[in-house]
Structure 1
Amino acid sequence: MFDYTVQSDRTVENVIDRLNESLKEESFGVLWDFDLSETLEKKGQGIDGKYRILEVCNPKAAKEVLSHHLEGGYFLPCKIAVFEKDDHTQIGMPKPTELIRLIDDESLHDIALDVESRLKRAIDQSK
């Protein structure tokens, strides 16, 4: 599967608060908290439920990726989606290890694996 997604009984807002803290513990910062559902509503294209996308970054890992392969920046920053589905909150991301495979550079695998492991821990601690 290309993604890592878990379910929570917490609200979207509560998950986002917890996620901000757990990301800090994993040395990631939130660059942008995009409220997609609110933006679509303003454009007359509302969706059912809340949908937020966090763009997150670990500067050291980003530098390592870009130092090996500038096109690795196509996958930066990492995205974590938090949304309502079937009366639950879903927290998920595309797996960095799956994305980085699109670049044929084996030297990036270990970096992607480390990023993925830390983001999974942050997500798991937030649910």
Structure 2
Amino acid sequence: MKYIKTTTKNVQEAVEALHKSISENGFGLQHIHNVTEKLAAKEVELGRQCQILDICQPHIAKEILDIDPSVSAILPCSISVFEDNGQTYICVVKPSAIFPLLNNQLTEVISKVEKTIFKIIDEAI
């Protein structure tokens, strides 16, 4: 259901490595959500670093949306980077675990997307 890897990098270093790998693999970084900072701004202490990177490849997004525009509700794909017990993790919910449940016609295109996302993460660790 999820693809998760540990890294010796801290959260910020992992985010920077992901940013580079995302670009090198033909995807774009749409936004970084710094969850720790967002919660702190609302006076909620998370107690760990957590950032979420929204990524997209426009041609693939169009292909997906041409098949089923309703799945726009779960786009773009998100990769999280977080600390837990002194270890940094990079994690993504496997697109193959979600998209085909919504529309089985997405299976083939999502398989390609998933392989690239795993490659992005593996290159960043």
TM-score range, shorter chain: over 0.9
1:52 pairs with 2:44: no
Note the aligned Cα RMSD (angstroms): 0.9
How far apart are 1:75 and its partner, in Å? 1.6
Q: TM-score, normalised by structure 2?
A: 0.96
* Residue in structure 2 matched with residue 28 of structure 1 by the alignment: 27
Give the structure 2 partner of residue 106 of structure 1.
104
- Aligned equivalent of 1:37: 36
The amino acid of 2:100's aligned partner reads: R
Q: CA deviation at 1:86?
A: 1.5
| Equivalent pairs, count | 125
CA contact (8 A) 1:31 1:56 kept: yes
Post-superposition CA distance 1:52-80 (Å, at most 9, x none): 00010010110001001011212210000
Structure 2 counterpart of 1:92 = 91
Q: Look up the match of 1:7.
A: 6
Paired position in structure 1 for 2:113: 115
Which residue identity is paired with 1:114? K
Q: Percent identity?
A: 28
Q: Which runs of 5+ in 2 are unaligned?
A: none
SS in 2 for 1:125: helix
Which 4+ residue blocks in structure 1 deviate beyond 3 angstroms?
A: none
1:124 aligned to which of 115, 122, 125: 122
